[in-house]
Amino acid sequence: SLGDHRAKAEKMFGLMDGFLKNDPVSLQKDIVYHVEYTVARSRFSFDDFEAYQALSHSVRDRLIERWHDTHQYFKKKDPKRLYFLSLEFLMGCSLSNSVINLGIRDQYVDALGQLGFEFEVLAEQEGDAALGNGGLARLSACQMDSLATLDFPAWGYGLRYQYGLFRQIIVDGFQHEQPDYWLNFGNPWEIERVQVSYAVKFYGTVEEEVSNGSNYKVWIPGETVEAVAYDNPIPGYGTRNAINLRLWAAKPSGQYDLESYNTGDYINAVVNRQKAEIISNVLYPDDRSYQGKELRLKQQYFFVSASIQDIIRRFKDVHDNFDEFTEKIALQINDTHPSLAIIEVMRVLFDEEHLGWDKAWDIVCKIFSFTTHTVQPEGLEKIPVDLMGSLLPRHLQIIYDINYKFMEELKKKFGQDYSRHARMSIVEEGAVKSIRMANLSIVCCHKVNGVSRVHFELLKTRVFKDFYDLWPLKFQYKTNGVTQRRWIVVSNPSLCAVISKWLGTEAWVRNIDLLAGLRDYASDADLQQEWRMVKKINKMRLAEYIETLSGVKVSLDAMFDVQIKRIHEYKRQLLNVLGIIHRYDCIKSMNESDRRKVVPRVCIIGGKAAPGYEIAKKIIKLCHAVAEKVNNDPGVGDLLKLIFIPDYNVSVAELVIPGSDLSQHVSTAGHEASGTGSMKFLMNGCLLLATADGSTVEIIEEIGADNMFLLGARVSEVPALRDQGASVRVPLQFVRVVRMVRDGYFGFKDYFESLCDTVENGKDFYLLGADFASYLEAQAAADLAFVNQEKWTRMSILSTSGSGRFSSDRTIEEYAEQTWGIEPCKCPF
C-alpha cells in the first residue's frame, strides 16, 4: 500500500546522511572509496587514470543527487517540457565542466592536493565524447548547458554511438581515419538504465483492422530492435537543476524469432540477433552531403521512435487523455535529421491512440518546431521513396496523406501553378523519387528557425522562398550562441579571474550582459597589462602543446593566427594557405632591413575532412607540404611557422582558442549559416579576420568594424562575381602562389593539380581569387595593429566585452519565449 511505500522510503532516507558533503575530508573519503570499490584497485596502488575514474565517480554521485531532485521536482510541478531531439551532440569532456557548474571545483582541487594529486593532471586523463561532426553538434551541447543553467524543464535525446567521430591521424601529411572507440575504458558520466527500454520496429507490412466500427491501419513489423536508455546528467551553473541527456543504444530485442531457434541453428540465431547493435554503432562523418543510406535512416527512426515512446509514456503517467498534450510538450528537432519524429507522433496518435486524423494533425502542428543549419539547397536531406517504403511502410503512407492534403491546400491558394506545386511538394518526382525532409518539416512545424540574420534572409529569398511566401509568420531566426561556462570559465581560468576582478563580481557567468562593463576599462593600463599577461600564459600552454606534437618551437612574441574548423572548400582554408605561401614568398625576397619590420606569425590550422571528401584531404596535405618547407627554411626562422594541429576536437579547441591572437572565419559570403567558432574566439579576446558572412555580420554590429579585420565580397556581391566566371579580376599575387603549388614548389606536383584546378580557369566557385587582394589587405592591417600592443589589447578587450549577445543563454531565452513557450522550473536548494 501507499503507506507502506512511504514508510519504506522514509526508512531508507534515514539511512542516508543527508546530502553528500563537499568538505575536503568527505571528498577524499569518497575518492578513496571509489578507488577501492568502484574502480576496484587497491588504495595503496593506483595510477592517474584510476584516480581520474574514482574522482569522476565521486563527482557523478553529486550530479546524480541533483539530477534526482530536479526530476522529482519536475514531476511534481508538471510544467510544459521541452524535448530537444538531435542526432549529434559534441559534449567534449565532462569533469572540469561538472565541478565548475556544481560550484565545487576549488574544494576538489584542495582535497586532491592534500592527497598528493593535481586536479588538472587527472582531468587530462579524460577522453572527448565526440558524438557529432561540427558546429551543429557543438551547438546542441552549448544549448543543453544553457537550458540547465536557466532552469528550463528540458530533456535532450540522442543516439549513443559506440564509435564517435573518427580520430584523425596524419601520416606523411595525409589524413587517415581511425575508429574512436570512446567507451573502451568505461564512461563514468552516463547511467545505464536497463529497465528503460523500448521496442523499435522496422520493415514489414501494413494491414487494415476494424475496431469499434472504424477502419485502422496496423503495422506488422518485420524486425524489432530494443532501445536502451543511457542517461547523462547535465548540471546547470549556480542552480540545483541538473537536466538529462538521454542517449539510446541498440540491443537485440527481448522477443526473438522462435523459428530460427527451433531449426536447431542456435549459434547463427544468436549471432543474427547480435546484429541489431549495428544501428547505434557508428556516427556518419559527413557534415553536409546527404546519401540515402539505409543504416542512416534506421538510426534516425530508431532514436526518434524510442524518444517518442518515452515522451508519451511520461505524459501518460500523469494524464489520462491527450487534451493537455500541447500545453505540456514542445518538441524541437535539430535540423531535419530527427524529422521522422513528426510522422511517428502522427502515427501513434492516429493508429494507436485512435484520436482521428484532424485531432492528431492539430496536435502535431502545435508541438513541433525545427531549426535548419543549412544554406545550400543541395544540402537538404532527401530519402528515396523505395527506401522509406521498405523500412517504414506505414510512415510512407502517412507522408503521402499529409502531402495530398497539402497539395489540395496549394491548389486552393495558387490554382494551377504546377511548377510551384512541384517545388513545394514533400515528394520529389524524378529519376529517384524521394521524400524532401525539409519540406515535410516546414509543412508540419509551427516554427522554422534560421541560425543568424543573414541565414534568415537567405532562407526567405532563396532556399525556402515558396514556403516563406505562403507562411511568412512561420519563419524566424535565433542567432546562435555558445556557453561562456565552457568557453571562458572552464577553458580560460586566468581570463575568468581577471574579468571577475575588474567587474567586481562573478555574476557575468550567469548574466553575460555584464561583460559590457569591461568596455569602460578598455584603455586602462593596468587592465591592459593583466590582459596581456593572461594571453601570454595561454600562449605558453599552446606553444608547449605544439612542441610536443610537432617538435617545432614557436616564439611567444609571434602573432598566433588560427583557423580551426571542419575542412571545407567554402570555409576556404585554401585561401589561408595561399596567403601563407604569399607571406613566405615575400619574406624570401626581402632585404635584412625589411625583414626586421615583419611581424612574426605562427599560423595554426586544424580540422577534419570528411573521409570521402578528396579536395578537403588535399588541402590538409597542402598545409603539411607548405609547413615542411617553411618551418625548415633557415632563412625564415621565427618570422613564419605553419602548424597543422591533428585530431581537432572540443578539448583541442579549449586549449587553442585562449592562446590565439587572431582567428580566421573567411567563408565565401552566403555559405556559412552562422559559424559559432568565431563567438568562442571573441569571448576570449581574440581578434577576428573575417568575411561578412553568417554570424559575423551581427558581431560587427556588436563590436564595430574597426575592432576586427573584415575582408571579401559581401553576400549581395557574390552572385555577380560568380557570373563573371573567368573574367573576374584576380590579383597577380594569386596567380603566382597558385602557380608555385602547380609547379611543384612544395612537391607532390601531380597530386595538387586537381586542387589548383578548383581555383583557376573560371572554376573558382568559392571566389578565392576574387577575394585574395582584400584578404592580403586585411592581413596587413592585422600586422599593423599588432605592432601597437596598446591598440591591439584595447581591441581585444572590446571583443570580449562585446561578446555578450553571443551567449547561448540569450539564444535559449529567445527560443523559450518565441518558439517553445516554456518557463523556468527551478528546483529549490
| Residue 126 interacting with ligand BZD (CB under 6 A) | no
| Residue 293 interacting with ligand BZD (CB under 6 A) | no
Of all residues in the shown chain, the one whose CB is closest to ligand BZD is 135
Q: Check: CB of residue 648 under 8 Å from CB of residue 571.
A: no
Pure H helices in 477-613: 484, 493-503, 525-550, 573-588, 592-595
With respect to ligand BZD, which residue has the nearer C-beta, 139 or 669?
139
d(CA 92, CA 130) in angstroms, rounded, equals 6
Stretch near ligand BZD under the rule CB under 6 A, chosen from 57-65, 499-507, 609-617, 673-681 = 673-681
| Residue 512 interacting with ligand BZD (CB under 6 A) | no
Stretch near ligand BZD under the rule CB under 6 A, chosen from 29-37, 131-139, 264-272, 358-366 = 131-139
Give the three cell numbers for residue 90. Answer: 559534441
DSSP output for 423-435: HH-SEEPSSS-EE
Stretch near ligand BZD under the rule CB under 6 A, chosen from 58-66, 128-136, 388-396, 801-809 = 128-136
| Residue 807 interacting with ligand BZD (CB under 6 A) | no
Q: How far is the CB of 342 from ligand BZD (least distance, A)?
A: 18
Q: Check: CB of residue 66 under 8 Å from CB of residue 238.
A: no
Pairing of strands 687-691, 662-665: parallel
| Residue 451 interacting with ligand BZD (CB under 6 A) | yes
| Residue 670 interacting with ligand BZD (CB under 6 A) | no
| Residue 463 interacting with ligand BZD (CB under 6 A) | no
Give the three cell numbers for residue 582. Answer: 604569399
Q: How far is the CB of 454 from ligand BZD (least distance, A)?
A: 10
| Residue 676 interacting with ligand BZD (CB under 6 A) | yes
Q: Check: CB of residue 688 under 8 Å from CB of residue 709.
A: yes
Question: For the chain, how big is the Rg over CA atoms in Å?
Answer: 28
d(CA 762, CA 633) in angstroms, rounded, equals 34
Give the three cell numbers for residue 440. Answer: 515535410
Closest CA to 747 of 636, 574, 626: 626
**Residue position matching grid coordinates 572552464:** 490
| Residue 693 interacting with ligand BZD (CB under 6 A) | no
Q: How far is CA 289 from CA 293, 316, 378, 430, 647, in A?
A: 12, 39, 8, 19, 21
- Pick the binder of ligand BZD from 126, 466, 654, 672 (CB under 6 A): 672
Stretch near ligand BZD under the rule CB under 6 A, chosen from 212-220, 539-547, 669-677, 816-824 = 669-677
Q: How far is the CB of 480 from ligand BZD (least distance, A)?
A: 5
d(CA 197, CA 542) in angstroms, rounded, equals 44
Q: Which residues contact 103 (CB under 8 A, 6 or more apart)?
A: 237, 238
> Torsions phi, psi of 73, nearest 5?
-65, -45
| Residue 712 interacting with ligand BZD (CB under 6 A) | no
Residue span 528-567 as binding mask against ligand BZD, x where in contact by CB under 6 A, dash where not: ----------------------------------------
| Residue 86 interacting with ligand BZD (CB under 6 A) | no
d(CA 748, CA 617) in angstroms, rounded, equals 13
Pure H helices in 380-451: 385-391, 393-414, 418-424, 437-444
Identify any residues that bridge with 233 across adjacent strands, giving them in sequence order.
244
Secondary element (H or E) of residue 750: helix 749-757
| Residue 164 interacting with ligand BZD (CB under 6 A) | no
| Residue 241 interacting with ligand BZD (CB under 6 A) | no
- Pick the binder of ligand BZD from 21, 273, 288, 536 (CB under 6 A): 288
With respect to ligand BZD, which residue has the nearer C-beta, 296 or 535?
296
Closest CA to 432 of 389, 403, 492, 391: 389
- Pick the binder of ligand BZD from 63, 577, 604, 673 (CB under 6 A): 673
Residue span 369-408 as binding mask against ligand BZD, x where in contact by CB under 6 A, dash where not: ----x-----------------------------------
- Pick the binder of ligand BZD from 674, 678, 793, 799 (CB under 6 A): 674
| Residue 480 interacting with ligand BZD (CB under 6 A) | yes
Number of residues that bind ligand BZD (CB under 6 A): 17
| Residue 188 interacting with ligand BZD (CB under 6 A) | no
Q: How far is the CB of 185 from ligand BZD (least distance, A)?
A: 27
| 178: helix, strand or coil | strand
d(CA 455, CA 376) in angstroms, rounded, equals 10
- Pick the binder of ligand BZD from 233, 338, 675, 685 (CB under 6 A): 675
| Residue 690 interacting with ligand BZD (CB under 6 A) | no
Q: Which residues contact 374 (CB under 8 A, 6 or more apart)?
A: 335, 380, 463, 673
Q: How far is the CB of 141 from ligand BZD (least distance, A)?
A: 11
Q: How far is the CB of 577 from ligand BZD (least distance, A)?
A: 21
With respect to ligand BZD, which residue has the nearer C-beta, 153 or 677?
677
Q: Is 781 exposed, middle or buried, given 0-12, 13-18 or 19+ CB atoms closer than 10 A? A: middle
Stretch near ligand BZD under the rule CB under 6 A, chosen from 99-107, 162-170, 257-265, 667-675 = 667-675
- Pick the binder of ligand BZD from 134, 164, 236, 658 (CB under 6 A): 134
> Torsions phi, psi of 736, nearest 5?
-65, -45
Give the three cell numbers for residue 415. Answer: 490554382
Measured CA angle at 44 (ends 42, 50), to 5 deg = 60
**Residue positions annotated with a catalytic role:** 373, 565-566, 571, 676, 680
DSSP helix, strand, coil percent of the chain (3-state; round to 5): 55, 15, 30
Q: How far is the CB of 286 from ligand BZD (least distance, A)?
A: 6
| Residue 779 interacting with ligand BZD (CB under 6 A) | no
| Residue 694 interacting with ligand BZD (CB under 6 A) | yes
Q: Which residues contact 800 (CB under 8 A, 6 or more apart)?
A: 495, 499, 515, 518, 682, 683, 684, 685
With respect to ligand BZD, which residue has the nearer C-beta, 253 or 336?
336
| Residue 135 interacting with ligand BZD (CB under 6 A) | yes
With respect to ligand BZD, which residue has the nearer C-beta, 126 or 672?
672
| Contact residues: ligand BZD, CB under 6 A | 133-137, 139, 287-288, 373, 451, 480, 672-676, 694
